[in-house]
Amino acid sequence: MKKITRYVALFLTALVFLSAAAGCKKETAQAGDGKFKERIRLDIIQYVNSPEPDGRRTDPASKMLEEKFNIDLYLTGTTEQDYVAQFAAMLAAGDLPDVIYLPADYTRLLASLMASDSLLNLEPYINEEYMPNLMADPNSAAMFEAYRGPSFSPDGKAYLWGFDRGDKSDGSMPSITNALLWNAYAKAGYPELDDMGDKFIDALDKMVKAEPTSVSGQKTYGMGGWFGQAAPWGEWVIKFGSTWPDGNEAIESAFFVISVDTDTIKPIPVKNLTDPNSYFWKMMRFFNKAHQRGLLDPDSWTQTSDMYQEKLKDGRYMFNEPGWMAGAANADFRMKGIDKAYLSIPAVNGRAEARFLNFYRGERMSGINAKSKGKHERIVALLDYLSTWEFSRITVNGMPGFNWDWVDGKPVPKDEYFDADLADNAWRLRTGAQIYNLFCGYDSGSTDPDGFPLNLYQYSDKAYERKMNGTFRDFLAHYGKERLVDVYKAETPVTTGIIGMLSFAELPDDMNNDLNALNAYVGKNYAEVVTARNDAEFARLRDRFIAGMYVFNPDALYDYFYQQCMDQQPIAQKIRGLIK
């Protein structure tokens, strides 16, 4: 009873803050308020933080949704590893949730849903009556047009709804980036960098010599990995890590067999896995050079990504690619009062990078259960509200009044917000922050039409003031700019990427078998090549590795995906024209 009373009190507190802020806040999404008289239960499975045992939410953001739409909300958390098996069991039992999540590897799951008539046709609802918020978003037309395409629809109608849309960051720390431990780079005398070649390796070596021990006094390395984790995440940093900074989008559903040019959205005529000059082999060679020079952490072959992240927070690596890990390390440095930072450097190829990203159709997608009779209008209204800037800001920062508030019409973070542990479940449940971080309209790095960043912890004026330590100032002075954003736009001609423009329907069985086998082959054998002792051995093992791929018909797979990319060019260019 005490627990229930505590959360009711928190919810009432949140409502008081919302009421107090109502006079100055600009966001006024009202869909669903007072419209639905009968209370119903909604079951949703999603990647959410701080899952609760029976799925019934107690955080104030969820309670606000329950009252707004007159629902009992059961939100069950899942993971990438568990969901496929969970989905198969639910589908077999005819017990799918009201809102059905589609993972990144969606093709087989989507085919199963279509075959069982389990997805609701959204076309009757794509109008101002049912989706007032999305219809006011000029980019929603591009999103639904994409979901009418052959990769997602058998009949040219939209069945899917995209979440986590919009810009992936303000450009200072993209999701994937080449980040250096800048204080060590400065100590080393700003050594010259090339396109992941010998000069880049030399620079890492000089940085290690300039800063040989970490915050805790441990040995530092040029780089590391989490290769001890299962494929495909284990080798992610090699297969996928350098794609966006390299000016291309390696398509995951095609297992990186092919890449699309960031600028033109056209397929790049290079066979990623079998051409020694591809970006994949550039990264294989990069990691091998680091290994040969003793710059690759030997623990990389046994550690997980969580272990890697902890070393990053200790400043044990000079180079890092996952932007979110660099951001977490920087936040940890700030919290401990340490003047260090991993800073994202401009494109080393000097040509193009997908730095300012527009994931127009959403990184995450869901569908509505066609068999949830009597609930469809309510679900559409709920998802329409989840798609707003208002709810996206709530899911990043929590309910107004806790970590932030409206001040003179502007969302302003409170000072104590920057001292919060964003991974703390109790903090999330108390404030409503970071619960729905993959189940809201806009990615946390986006900036709303009024120019306000969603992520107040990372991108607000206060956040920049707090993070602007000596390391950041030195970075800006080195490039002669006053703002981080200006550095990248000045140094790289093409900096904007429209991510997710192309995707592929399920492969024929024989090709799908080849693709899965190729995936397994790479995951099993790449380590031998990366750990080659010298250049001659690397060349020999590389050639043997490539020859071994031909059992799985990689050229046929590449030709298939290349033709798919070309076939989709008319709709891709049409969608590009719809994006505002």
> Per residue in 358-371, pLDDT tens?
788 888 999 999 99
pLDDT of residue 371: 95
CA angle centred on 500, ends 89 and 80, rounded to 5° = 30
Beta-carbon contacts of residue 198 (< 8 Å; ≥ 6 apart): 289
Could you name the CATH architecture of 170-362+488-580? 3-Layer(aba) Sandwich (3.40)
Exposure class string for 110-124: b at 16+ Cβ within 10 A, else e: beebbeeebbbbbee
Give yes or no for a cis peptide into 232 (omega within 30° of 0).
Answer: yes
pLDDT of residue 3: 35
Q: Strands 99-102 and 364-368: what pairing?
A: antiparallel
Q: Estimate to the nearest angstrom the gap between the alpha carbon of 245 and the chain centroid.
A: 15
pLDDT of residue 84: 82
pTM summary value? 0.76
* Distance from C-alpha of 253 to C-alpha of 245, rounded to nearest angstrom: 20
- Nearest to residue 242, comparing CAs of 292, 204, 196, 186? 196
Inter-residue contact 255 to 552 (CB < 8 Å): no
Question: How many residues comprise the chain?
Answer: 580
Q: Is 101 helix (H, G, I), strand (E, B) or coil?
A: strand
Q: Tens place of pLDDT for every residue, the chain, 580 residues?
A: 333 333 333 433 444 344 444 444 545 455 566 789 999 999 998 888 888 888 888 999 999 999 999 999 998 888 777 888 888 888 888 899 999 998 877 888 898 999 999 999 999 999 999 999 999 998 899 999 999 988 899 999 999 999 999 876 677 888 889 999 999 999 999 999 999 999 999 999 999 999 999 999 999 999 999 999 988 889 989 888 778 899 988 776 676 788 889 888 899 999 999 999 998 999 999 999 999 999 999 999 999 999 999 999 999 999 999 998 999 999 899 889 999 999 999 999 999 998 887 788 888 999 999 999 999 999 999 999 999 999 999 999 999 999 999 999 999 999 999 989 888 989 999 999 999 988 999 988 888 989 899 999 988 989 888 888 999 999 999 999 988 889 999 999 998 887 777 777 678 899 999 999 998 999 999 999 999 999 999 999 999 999 999 999 999 999 999 998 898 898 888 888 888 7
Question: For 24-156, where are the E strands, in sequence order?
Answer: 40-46, 71-77, 99-102
Helix (H) or strand (E) holding 251: none
Query: Which bin fits 190, alpha (ψ -120 to 50), beta or left (φ > 0)?
Result: left
C-alpha to C-alpha distances, 354 to 242, 323, 346, 358, 495, nearest whole angstrom: 11, 13, 11, 9, 5
**Alpha helical stretches, state H, 118-259:** 132-135, 140-147, 182-187, 198-210, 236-239
**DSSP β-bridge partners for residue 43:** 74
Structure tokens at 84: 């496929």
In eight-state DSSP terms, residue 298 is G
Structure tokens at 322: 């996952």
Inter-residue contact 386 to 441 (CB < 8 Å): yes
Beta-carbon contacts of residue 480 (< 8 Å; ≥ 6 apart): none
Query: In the chain, where does the domain assigned CATH 3.40.190.10 lie?
Result: 25-159+364-431, 170-362+488-580
* Residue appearing with tokens 């037309």: 141
**DSSP β-bridge partners for residue 384:** none
Exposure class string for 384-395: b at 16+ Cβ within 10 A, else e: bbbbbbbbbbbb
pLDDT of residue 29: 52
* Distance from C-alpha of 166 to C-alpha of 336, rounded to nearest angstrom: 32
Q: Strands 248-250 and 352-359: what pairing?
A: unpaired
- Nearest to residue 75, comparing CAs of 86, 59, 89? 59
Structure tokens at 182: 């800048």
Helix (H) or strand (E) holding 371: none
Q: Estimate to the nearest angstrom the gap between the alpha carbon of 93 and the chain centroid.
A: 32
C-alpha to C-alpha distances, 438 to 78, 300, 355, nearest whole angstrom: 12, 29, 20
Helix (H) or strand (E) holding 372: none
Inter-residue contact 25 to 406 (CB < 8 Å): yes
Quickly count helices (H) and strands (E) in the chain. Answer: 23, 15
* Distance from C-alpha of 110 to C-alpha of 92, rounded to nearest angstrom: 14
Could you name the CATH architecture of 25-159+364-431? 3-Layer(aba) Sandwich (3.40)
